[in-house]
């Protein structure tokens, strides 16, 4: 049996260490991993816990991230509770196998420390890798700080392993800003955390020879469509399970989570939509502008990026006049991914707010308080005039001439 660790009520952990402790408390059976900055300390932490006797599991060191996810698929199909971590180029190398894991309905947990995709090579945080995985069939949840990285990783096991879901889950956190910044964390005790997640109950495991199963079957046009339709339905239908797990977690810890987090949105005229650590920064500015700037500002943050909470978004923005969607990823010749999601949600709403796309923070560049204040000011101008004051897409904080696109 694995030893228990004496956890105090408050610890000082960074996001990586918080995620590693969540894997330990979940008593993961297999972690197959290939380390990559800035997510290395997560799997390194699990390996240390294993070496010190705090986990009864296996750490499999492989030759690449593609092999890491392949190992996770094999271990999960064999009936194990499985997890790993990655970032950026490693995530991109995993991409092929991400689709295998979700298509086989294997509840693998992947902690993603978000980092820019090359080229140019960059080890700092943006959301390029998060967006790369948005259509891979995984549930995606986003942490805004280290406490949330711990909480969401624990909840990911309970969500993905639910028999009504049986899907893999990614938990995202911002590279370095969350992963390497130490903050006060209030963890659950080992007993409470494991009791909350529950003992792993495998489904259709390959090693149960009394009930032979097939994984990785080929279907072509005769059944492929039906498989993908069922998979999509399973993701959409995971919403009430996610809500129930959030509710149960609040009862256990007092910490409340929602698929969409809103701040000062009850009477907001203008709002920012963002992901990651930028959410907390935007909240500071919104509060200040309400108190000192005369702007009814609010902040909306999708906690669950997949399945995208289109219904909640539509309801939250029912009376808002202007919205800024902040995308921390190069859009590659299009409007940003978060912008497109929000606009798609609002298309079926009676309210048609002005929605502007701001590209920011690529390669880890800071998003300042002044920059956010300027965004809110522009939103208020849009709300007052009833039209965009500039182009629909703007790049914030880039050196050189102002970049604006799309009329």
> Exposure of 194 by Cβ count < 10 A (0-12 exposed, 13-18 middle, 19+ buried)?
middle
Distance CA 399, CA 392 (A): 19
pLDDT higher than 90, residue 181: yes
**Which pLDDT band, with edges at 50, 70 and 90, does 1 fall under?**
low
Tell me whether the CATH fold assigned to 11-253 matches the one assigned to 261-405.
Answer: yes
Average pLDDT over residues 252-268: 97
Mean local confidence (pLDDT), 161-170? 97
Higher pLDDT, 233 or 4: 233
Q: Could you tell me the end-to-end alpha-carbon distance of the chain, in angstroms, rounded to an integer?
A: 63
Confidence at residue 9, expressed as pLDDT on a 0 to 100 scale: 85
Q: What is the pLDDT of residue 7?
A: 63
For residue 8, what pLDDT is reported? 64
pLDDT over threshold 60, residue 316: yes
Rounded to the nearest integer, the mean pLDDT of the chain is: 96
Q: Long-range CB contacts (< 8 A, 24+ apart) of 346-352?
A: 346/313, 346/314, 346/317, 348/314, 349/314, 349/317, 349/318, 350/318, 351/317, 351/318, 351/319, 351/320
For 205, the token pair is 């495991």
d(CA 336, CA 182): 31
Q: Is the pLDDT of residue 293 over 70?
A: yes
Q: Report pLDDT digits (tens) over 343-359.
A: 999 999 999 999 999 99
Rounded average pLDDT over 161-189: 97
Distance CA 125, CA 48 (A): 26
pLDDT tens, position by position, 48-78: 999 999 999 999 999 999 999 999 999 999 9
Mean pLDDT of 237-261: 98
For the chain, the domains span: 11-253, 261-405
Domain spanning 11-253, CATH architecture: 3-Layer(aba) Sandwich (3.40)
Average pLDDT for 265-294: 97
pLDDT grade for 5, boundaries at 50, 70 and 90: confident
Q: Residue 180 above 70 pLDDT? A: yes
Q: What is the pLDDT of residues 347-394, one digit of tens each?
A: 999 999 999 999 999 999 999 999 999 999 999 999 999 999 889 999
- How large a percentage of the chain has pLDDT more than 70? 99
- CATH architecture of the region 261-405: 3-Layer(aba) Sandwich (3.40)
Residue 77 backbone phi and psi in degrees, to 5: -65, -25
Lowest mean pLDDT among 20-24, 206-210, 255-259, 309-313: 206-210
């Amino acid at each position: 049996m694995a030893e228990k660790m004496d956890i105090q009520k408050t610890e000082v952990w960074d996001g990586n260490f918080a995620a590693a402790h969540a894997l330990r408390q979940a008593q993961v059976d297999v972690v197959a991993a290939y380390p990559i900055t800035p997510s290395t300390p997560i799997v390194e932490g699990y390996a240390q816990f294993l070496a010190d006797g705090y986990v009864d599991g296996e750490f499999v060191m492989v030759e690449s991230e593609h092999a890491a996810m392949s190992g996770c698929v094999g271990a999960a199909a064999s009936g194990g509770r499985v997890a790993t971590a990655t970032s950026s180029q490693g995530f991109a190398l995993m991409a092929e196998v991400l689709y295998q894991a979700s298509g086989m309905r294997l509840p693998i947990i992947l902690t993603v420390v978000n980092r820019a995709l090359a080229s140019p090579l960059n080890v700092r945080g943006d959301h390029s890798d998060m967006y790369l995985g948005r259509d891979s069939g995984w549930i995606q949840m986003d942490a805004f700080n280290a406490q949330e990285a711990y909480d969401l990783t624990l909840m990911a096991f309970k969500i993905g392993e639910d028999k009504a879901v049986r899907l893999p889950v990614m938990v995202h956190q911002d590279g370095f800003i969350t992963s390497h910044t130490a903050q006060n964390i209030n963890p659950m005790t080992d007993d409470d955390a494991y009791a909350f997640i529950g003992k792993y109950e495998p489904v259709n495991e390959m090693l149960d020879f009394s009930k032979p199963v097939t994984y990785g079957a080929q279907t072509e046009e005769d059944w492929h469509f039906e498989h993908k339709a069922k998979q999509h339905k399973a993701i959409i239908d995971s919403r009430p399970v996610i809500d129930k797990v959030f509710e149960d977690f609040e009862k256990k810890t007092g910490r409340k989570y929602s698929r969409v987090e809103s701040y000062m949105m009850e009477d907001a005229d203008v709002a920012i939509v963002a992901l990651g650590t930028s959410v907390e920064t935007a909240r500071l500015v919104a509060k200040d502008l309400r108190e000192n700037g005369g702007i009814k500002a609010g902040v909306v943050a999708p906690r669950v990026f997949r399945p995208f909470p289109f219904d909640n978004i539509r309801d939250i923005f029912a009376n808002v006049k202007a919205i800024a969607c902040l995308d921390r990823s190069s859009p590659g010749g299009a409007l940003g991914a978060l912008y497109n999601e929000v606009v798609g949600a609002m298309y079926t709403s009676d309210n048609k707010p002005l929605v502007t796309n701001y590209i920011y923070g690529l390669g880890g560049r800071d998003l300042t308080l002044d920059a956010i204040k300027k965004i809110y000011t522009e939103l208020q101008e849009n709300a007052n005039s009833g039209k965009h004051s500039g182009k629909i897409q703007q790049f914030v904080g880039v050196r050189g001439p102002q970049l604006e696109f799309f009329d």
